[in-house]
Structure 1
Amino acid sequence: MGDAGPQKVKRSILERLPGAFPIATVPKSVDVDAVSSTLIEALPSLSHDVLLDDAIWRDSFGLTGTMRTFYTKEHVIQNWAKLVQGHGAADFSLIKGSTRVVEISSSTAWIEAAFRFTTTESPATLCSGFLSIVSTGEAGTWKIWLIRTILENLTDHGDVDHLEPIAQQTQTGSSRLGQEPIYFDVVVVGGGQSGLATGGRLQALGVSHVVLDKNTQVGDAWGNRYESARLHTVREYSHLPFERTFGPEYDEYLGKDALSKGHREWAQKYGINIWQSTTLEQGPWDEASNTYILAINRDGIMSTISTKHVVFATGAGSQNPRMPQLPDKEMFHGTILHSADYRSAEGRQGEAGIVVGSANTGQSESITQLLASMLNKLGHDIADDMYEAGMSSVTMVQRSRTFVLPVEYIADRYHALYNARRPTELSDRMQFSGPTSINRLMAAHAFHAMARAEPERWEALERAGFRVDPYGDIQEAINIRLGGHYIDVGTSAKISKGLIKMKSGPIPIKYTETGLLFDDGSKVRADVIVWATGFNGNLRHDVEKIMGNTIAAKCEDCFGLNEEGEVLGAYKPMAQKGIWYLGGAIGHARYYSRFIALSIKADTTGQPLPVYLENQATLPE
C-alpha cells in the first residue's frame, strides 16, 4: 500500500474561531466622543460602509433572547438588520463618559464606547452595548470592529441589578410544607453562590421562587470544604449581586470561612427564600398542568411542589466525585480519600502522602483520561496543606503538562477591572460580554508576555520534575476542560525547591500494602492517598438522574463550546423548556444569573424573550 501522506490534525473549536486584533492606531488628537457618537447613530440602519470585513457581533440576550456570536461583515449585517427591525430597536445613544482608548501594542489600538438602546416589541426592553472602533488608515475614516449588546432589563418590570435589603433580618426561607399543592414559578436547586445569586435576581424581579439547599445552613457550600480552601481571584471579583459583599476588612484572597460568612449574611440581609436540608429527588414533567412535579425531601419529610422552571445551580464541576477504581485496594494499610472528603492534614505529622492531581476533562472513567491533564488548584492546595502540616513527604502525581498561571499575572488584570472605583455591574459587562475568540487573544497577549519574561521560573519547575506549560489557554481551561490548570499562589516554589516531590508521567495501576504501584514498575510509599481526580461537571447528568432520559435528551451538555464559541447549555434556554444550568466561578454566577432571571420574568408576564437560532455558524475543520 502507498503512503497516504501526513494525517490532517483536527483543530479545536477555539483554534477555528474567527477573530484577530486589528492593525491600527488611535491618534492622540482624535475626538473619541465624536467618532463614537457618529457610529452609534449609524446602528439603527447599519450599513456595509461602517463595518470592517472581519467585524464580530456578540449578543447577550439583547436581541437574540440567548447568547449568539456572528462573524464577518456580511453575517453581522444580515442578522443585525433582521433583529433590529423585528424588535423595534431604537434610541441608540452614547453613554456619556464611557469612551476610552484601548491600546494593546504600538500597532494595535481602538476606541471603545458604551451605548444604550431600547426595544419595543414583545417584550419591550432596555439594553446596552459596547462598540470597538478602528481607524482604517484613511484620513478621518473609522469603522466598527466589534459590537457587543446586552439585555439590561424588561421595561416596567423591575431592576434585576437592584434589591433593597429587608427591613428586619430574619431567618431565610419560609416554611410552607403541608400546604398542598405548593407552586413556585421557579425552583432553584443548589444554595451555593449560583443558587443565591439566582434567588436574589428573581426576588429583585418579583418572581415567586424557592432555593433548595442540601446543606444545613447558608454558606456551607464553602464552609464544608477542606480547611485550606480559598479563592485564587481577588476580593473585588468575589461579590454576590447588589452590593460589595466583602469589604476591605476581608483578606484579598478569601478563605472558605470568610466566603461562608459573607454568603450567610448576604442571604439574611436580602431575605432569600431558601430551604435548607432539602434535596430534589424526582422531577418529571406533567403534560396536564404544564409544570414540573418535584418530589423533595426536606429534613426527612417528603413533599411535592410544582413549577414551570427549574434552575440547576449546583455548580458545574463540583458535585459528583470521579474516583478511579484501582486493583488491590484492600491491601493498602493507609487512608484513601477523594478530594471531596479531604479536610486537612492536621495530626498526620511524620506521615507520607500522595496527591493524585485533578483533571476535569471528558466523561470517561478510564484512569488514562482521568489523569490526562491533572494538578489544578485543588491538587496543589492539598499537597501544600500536607507539607505545611509537617508530613514527612508529599508526592504529587502528574500525567501530562499543566498550565500554570501565577496569581500575580491575573491579579494585575483583575485589579484594573474590579476595584472600588468601578461598579461591579460595569466590570462584569466589560469582562463577560466579549466574543470568546477575542477574549482568548487578550488573555494570551497579556499572560504569555509575562511568562516569557521569567524563564527561570519554568526551568526550575522542570528541573524538579514538574512538566509545566507556561503558555496555556485560559479559555480552554475555563470553558472546555473546567480546570486542568493551576493558579500559582506559592506551591510551585515549594515544588521547585523539592519540598513537594513530583511523580510525572507514569500512571498508578494498583495499590500496594504501602502505597501505589505505577505502570513503569516504580512504587511510591504513602500513609494517605488523596485522589484529586475531579468531578463530573456535566449538569445534564443531574437532569437525567432526577428527571429522566426524555427530558435530559432535550437538554444540552453543560460546558464546552459550540461553533460560535458560546458555552454549551449553561446560562441560556434549551430545547427542553424551563430547564436552566448555572455554574462556574463566582463572577459567572453573579453575571449570568441576571439573564436567567430576566428570561424567566419575561415568561411569567406572557411575553417570553424570542430566541433567535437562525443562521448558526459552521466553522472549517
Structure 2
Amino acid sequence: MTVDKPLDIVTDWFSRFVAIWKDSDVTDVFLDDAGWREHLVFDWDYRCLEGVERIRSYLRDDTVDGQPRMMAAVPHGDSLEVSMGPGNAPHVFAAGSGTSSAPSHRFASKLGLSLPAPAMADAPFTTTPEVTAHFRFLVGREGELSCGTVLAIVRLQQVEGAGFWRAKTFFTTWDPHAMSGKLALDCPFVLAEASEQERREWVALCETKPEVVIVGGGHSGLTLAVALTERKITNLVIEAAPSVGWIWAARYPGLHFHGPRWCHSLLNHEFAKGDMEEWVTKETFARKLEEYKDSFGIVVRTNTRLIEGGALWMPDQGSWRLHLEGSKDGRATTMNAAHVAFCVGPLNTLKPRMPHFVQSSAHPFKGHILNTETFAKAMQPQLYDLDDAPLDVEGKRFVVVGHASSGADIASYLTNNGASVTVMARKPQLVQSYDFISMLMSKIYPEGTGRALPDCDVTFRATPYKYMLGLEPKRVEFMDKVVDKDLHDALRAKGVPVWFGENDGGFSAEARKHGGTHLFDPGLKDPVFKGLAYHVVHGNLDYRSGVTVRELRDNHVVMSNGDEIEADAVIFSIGYELGGPNVHRFLRRADGSHMADNDQILHSFPVNEEGEFTGIFRPIDLQEDGGPNSRLWLASMGVPHSRSYLPLLAMQIQRASLLSAQPVA
C-alpha cells in the first residue's frame, strides 16, 4: 500500500490542529490512545499527555501567565514549515505483509526513526499506514513571553473508514534560538568573538556579581554556562575539584561511554571522528571538558565549594546568599545571586551502596574491601594527592560483586590487566551489545549525514514515555533474536541467565525504575574493549549467578550458597543509595532550617506519573519560602540530555528574571 502526497497529509492535519484553538474537537486531531509530549510551549512545563480525554482537559483547563492556556500560546495557521525531516520532507511507511523486509528495517520502522523511505515502507510493526513528519511552526503573539518557533514531530495514522489522518504521537518544544519578543536570541553572545574590553568586563561581572551561580563544573554545569552566556546572562561555575575534568578523570579505570561518540558531543562543540575514540574514554572526555571551558571562555572557580547549609534563600530580596570556601585566595567568601543551579550528578549527591554481610571478628578479612569510588582512589592515588602506591592488580585475586555497567567495566579492566576475577551476580541483567546500541543511536544520531545535532536531540526526546514502553517488547525480541542472538546464546551456554526486564519490558522501564540492572557490553567480536561477556564466554573469569556475599574472613569470601573463594580484594559495585552530600543539605530557608522536606529536591531524578522528571530541568517549587519564583534549579543528566534540555533551562531562567525583575541586593 502506498501513501500519496504525504506533505498534503501533514498540512491538512496541522490545519485541524490549529482549529482546536477555535473550539474544534480534539478527536479530529488525535487518536483515542494518542500521546502528546509537550515541553514548555503551551504550559512552560514538561508534560506527557496520554489519551485524547487527557489532551482535551489539558487544552481547556488552567491558565498560563494569568491567561487561559488556549490564549497564552496560539499556533499560527499559516506558519507551517516542514524542514527537519530526512530529505526535507515527511517520511512514510505503509502496512506490509512482513515477508520482504530485513529485520533491521522492520525494527527501525516501528521506532519511527529516520531511515530512507524504501526501508520505512517495507514492513513495519503496524497494520495501518503511517506518516511521520518533523516540522516547525510559530506560536504566540509578538512581544509576549510565549512567542517563537516550535519544533514538532508528529506520527500520523489513518483510521480505517476515516477520510483524514490523526496523530498517534505528537511532540512540541521551543526552538531556543528562534524565540521572539523578550526571549529572542537574535545574536547569541559568544565570548570568544567579543572584544578584549568586552571579555574583561564580562569576566569581572561573572566573578563578582553573577546572576546565576552554577554548582558543579562537569559537562552539565559547563553546558548550562554556555547556554546562559549566549543569552548574555552572567554566570559563575564553582567546582570543588582542581579542574573541570577531574570528576571524570578520577573515576574508576576502564570507564568509557556506553554510546557512540557523536551523540556525546557538547553544546555548540561537536566531536569529530579524528578527535577521539568511537567509545569515548573517561580520560578523553576529561580533556575535552578542559578544552570546552577554555574555548568558550567559561568563568570557573576551581577548588571552591559551597559549604553545607551555605545557600540561604532570601525571599524578601528574591535572591540567594551563598557561602563559599576554598576560593582562589584560600579564604571563605560570600556572594549573592538571583539564581542557583545545581549541576552535580549522582556521583556527587549519592553514595555507593554497601550490602549487609558478616565479617568475622576472630578472623577478619585480610584483603581490601572496596566500592567503585574507593577502587578508583586506590588505583589512582595521585589524583587524590595521596602518597600511596597504586593498588597492585596483576596476578591478584579479585571478587567483583555486581555486574551492571560499573561492575562489568571493573571486572573487564581487572581481567585485561592480568588479575584473576570472580564476578558474583545476585540476579540476572539485561545485556545489550554495543552493536545494538550503535544501531539504535545511529538512527537518531546519524553521524556524517549532514543532519544537525540539535535536530537529532529533538528526535531523542520526542517519544511519549508510555508509548516508548509499549515499543520495548518488540525491541527486546529483535535484540535477542537478531542483533544480539550470538551473544545471548553464548552466555546461556555458559550458564549465564539472560533477562529482559520485568514482563520482558526492556531497558527503558528498568532504567527509569532502578537506574541500573542493565549491562552494555562490547560483545564477542575482537572489540577494542574486551568486556564481561567476552571474558565469560572465553573462560577468562569465573562467573557466579544467583549468589551474594554472606561472610568475609581471613582470605576468603563466603557466598550465600556456602561456597568459598580466596580473594585479595572485594569490590562492591551494586549501585548508589541516598546519602552523602545530597543537594538539600546545602540549602536553607530564611529561618535557617534545611530544605529536607521538599519532595522535588529529595526525589529529583525519578519520573512522575506522566513519565517526566520531577525535579531536574524545571524550577523547584518553594512557594512556602516566599513566592512562586524561588529561582532554584537542578540540572544534571547524561550528555545528550544536558545538551538538549539546558538551552531550554537557560531560557526558563531568563523568563523567570523577566517575570520577577527584582534587583539583587
Give the TM-score normalised by the residue count of structure 2. Answer: 0.78
Q: Could you tell me which of 97, 100, 105 is aligned with 2:91? A: 100
Relative contact order (C-alpha < 8 Å, sep 6+): which is higher?
Answer: 1
Q: 1:396 aligns with which of 423, 437, 440?
A: 423
Could you list the per-position Cα deviations for residues 238-285 of structure 1 after superposition, in whole angstroms to 9, with x for gaps in the alignment? 111113134433211111121112111111111112111111111121
Q: Give the ranges of 4+ consecutive aligned residues of structure 1 lying more than 6 Å apart after TM superposition.
A: 173-181, 537-540
Partners of 2:369 and 2:570 within 8 A in 1: yes
**Aligned 1:132-171 pairs, distance under 5 A:** 132-138=155-161, 140-153=163-176, 154-156=179-181, 157-159=183-185, 164=190, 166-167=192-193
Written as runs of structure 1 = structure 2, the 5 A alignment for 1:537-552 is 541-547=582-588, 550-552=594-596
The alpha-carbon deviation at position 180 of structure 1 amounts to 13
Change beyond 3 A, Cα 1:523–1:131: same
- Counterparts of 1:182-581 in structure 2, within 5 Å, are 182-281=208-307, 282-299=310-327, 300-316=330-346, 319-324=349-354, 326-328=357-359, 331-343=364-376, 344=379, 347-357=392-402, 375-391=403-419, 393-418=420-445, 419-420=447-448, 421-453=450-482, 455=485, 457-470=487-500, 471=504, 473-489=506-522, 490-536=531-577, 541-547=582-588, 550-556=594-600, 557-576=603-622, 577-581=630-634
Specify the code of the residue in structure 2 equivalent to 1:602: R
1:131 CA displacement: 1.7
CA gap 1:476/1:323 in 2 versus in 1, 3 angstroms: same
C-alpha deviation, 1:162, in angstroms: 5.8
* 8 Å Cα contact 1:346-1:389 kept in structure 2: no
The 10-residue stretch of structure 1 (544-553 or 413-422) with the greater mean CA deviation from structure 2? 544-553
Tell me, yes or no, if the aligned pair for 2:217 and 2:239 is still in contact at 8 Å. yes
- Deviation by residue 1:23-49 (Cα, 9 ceiling, x = unmatched): xxxx42410100101111222222332
Q: What's the CA shift for 1:181?
A: 11
- How far apart in 2 are the matches of 1:518 and 1:307? 53
Letter of the 1:521 counterpart = G
What CA distance in whole angstroms lies between the structure 2 residues aligned with 1:477 and 1:183? 43
1:13-24 alignment, distance < 5 Å = none
Q: What are the Cα deviations for residues 1-26 of structure 1, in whole angstroms up to 9, with x where unaligned? A: xxxxxxxxxxxxxxxxxxxxxxxxxx
Change (3 A) 1:271 1:402: same
CA apart distance, 1:318: 5.3
Question: How far apart in 1 are the matches of 2:303 and 2:4?
Answer: 60
CA spacing shift, 1:320–1:538, aligned 2, 3 Å: closer
Give the aligned partner of residue 76 of structure 2. 90
User: Following TM superposition, by how much is the alpha carbon of 1:163 offset from its aligned partner in structure 2, in angstroms?
Assistant: 5.8
Q: Go from structure 1 to structure 2 and tell me whether the alpha carbon gap of 1:98 and 1:329 turns closer, same or farther (over 3 Å shift).
A: farther
Measured against aligned partners, the alpha-carbon deviations of 1:458-504 in whole angstroms (never above 9, x if no partner) come to: 34324434332145522224323122211011321211233121222
Q: Distance in 2 between matches of 1:74 and 1:427?
A: 30
Partner SS state of residue 37, structure 2: strand
Q: In structure 2, do the counterparts of structure 1 residues 76 and 85 end up closer, same or farther at CA, with 3 Å as the change threshold? A: same
SS of the residue 2:619 aligns to = coil
Q: Structure 1 residues 177, 237: closer, same or farther in 2, change over 3 A?
A: closer
Structure 2 counterpart of 1:87, which letter? Answer: A
> CA separation of 1:596/1:536 partners in 2, compared to 1, >3 Å: closer, same or farther?
farther
**Distance in 1 separating the partners of 2:195 and 2:367:** 48
Provide closer, same or farther for how the CA distance between residues 552 and 155 of structure 1 changes in structure 2, counting only shifts above 3 A. Answer: farther
- Cα 1:308–1:402, aligned 2, differ >3 Å: closer, same or farther? same
Aligned-pair distance for 1:50? 2.8
Partners of 1:401 and 1:93 in 2: how far apart?
49
Is 2:642 the partner of 1:589?
yes
Relative to the length of structure 1, the TM-score reads 0.83
Once structures 1 and 2 are overlaid, which stretch shifts more, 401-410 or 546-555?
546-555
Letter in 1 for 2:631: G
Q: How far apart are 1:123 and its partner, in Å?
A: 4.1
Separation in 2, partners of 1:29, 1:328: 69
Aligned partner of 1:116 in structure 2 is: 137
Deviates more, 1:233-242 or 1:44-53: 44-53
Q: Which moved more, 1:226-235 or 1:496-505?
A: 496-505
Count residues in correspondence: 562
- Structure 2 gaps, min length 5: 61-67, 94-108, 111-123, 380-389, 523-530, 623-629
Distance 1:143 1:593 in 2: 32
